[in-house]
Amino acid sequence: MNKRILGPRLEAVASFIPVGTKVADVGTDHGLLAIWLRLHEISTAVIASDIRPGPLDTARRNAVKYGADGISFRLCPGLRDIRQDEADIVVIAGMSGETILSILDDAGWDWTTKQLILEANTKHPELMTWLYQHKLHVEEETMPTENGRYYRVFRVVFGGADMPRLAFQWGGFTSGPFAIRQANMLNRAINGLRSSSDPDDLLRLQTYQNVLEDMKDAYDWYNFELPFETRSH
């Protein structure tokens, strides 16, 4: 199967999935990842689940269109109707960090022998906090770009590890364009919060300042031109 049916984001997700594994694709939407995994004989079986019947019907039609078999379609929230023994790999992509951690928390699975492939579009620090508190850690990260936007894709495995420093939670494990974008976003937020006297705003201000200071220490900023100043005037 040579036809390219995945964009760079889902190609990055697929690149983390080992050959010969059983996969649960949670929030499958159009089902293209599940279909690609079967067409390329990466996964021996795939469960494509979604909470909405419309996308699941679309996924079924796409499977017929591309001639993919070995996919079980499940209408359910998260992992609720998926047994632990049905999946070695759990993929959750294209959701907020809060939604992903809610799905994982609700599942109540034993993650000891599982791998998670996660692509959250928000709340990376909160998601990381949950993972590391539950003895899971990010083993690999990649950052594809699609339509001018950066995406963070995590391969997560079981095993205790130290919580990543603030810079890595917010900007990624390697210095690069995404980290620069995050730093500039934080700088703008800091400038907007400085005039506030609201206690919640002041707490956010301190958090953002701490993150930005850690970014300066963690990354080799001298390779970049970053037009910001974070210290209070």
Contacts of 225 (CB under 8 A, 6+ apart): none
Q: Among 135, 162, 189, where does a domain finish?
A: 162
Find the DSSP H helices in the chain.
8-15, 32-39, 53-66, 97-107, 124-133, 166-171, 177-193, 199-218
Q: Residue 77: its pLDDT value, please? A: 96
Q: Among 162, 183, 213, where does a domain finish?
A: 162
Find the DSSP H helices in 16-96.
32-39, 53-66
Within a domain: 3: no
Give every residue of the chain whose pLDDT is below 70, as ranges. 1-3, 221-233
Within a domain: 97: yes
CA–CA dist 233, 1 (Å, integer): 60
CA distances (Å), 222 to each of 110, 168, 185, 216, 227, in order? 44, 18, 19, 9, 12
Same domain flag for 104 and 137: yes
Residue 210 structural domain? 165-233
Task: Return the DSSP state at 19.
Answer: T
* Global pTM value: 0.91
Q: Residue 214: its pLDDT value, please? A: 93
For the chain, the distance separating the N- and C-terminal CA atoms, rounded to the nearest angstrom, is: 60
Q: Residue 96: its pLDDT value, please? A: 95
CA–CA dist 167, 175 (Å, integer): 10
User: Which backbone phi and psi does 194 adopt, to 5 degrees?
Assistant: -60, -30
Residue 17, H or E segment: none
Amino acid at 3: K
Q: Residue 176: its pLDDT value, please? A: 85
Q: Residue 152: its pLDDT value, please? A: 96
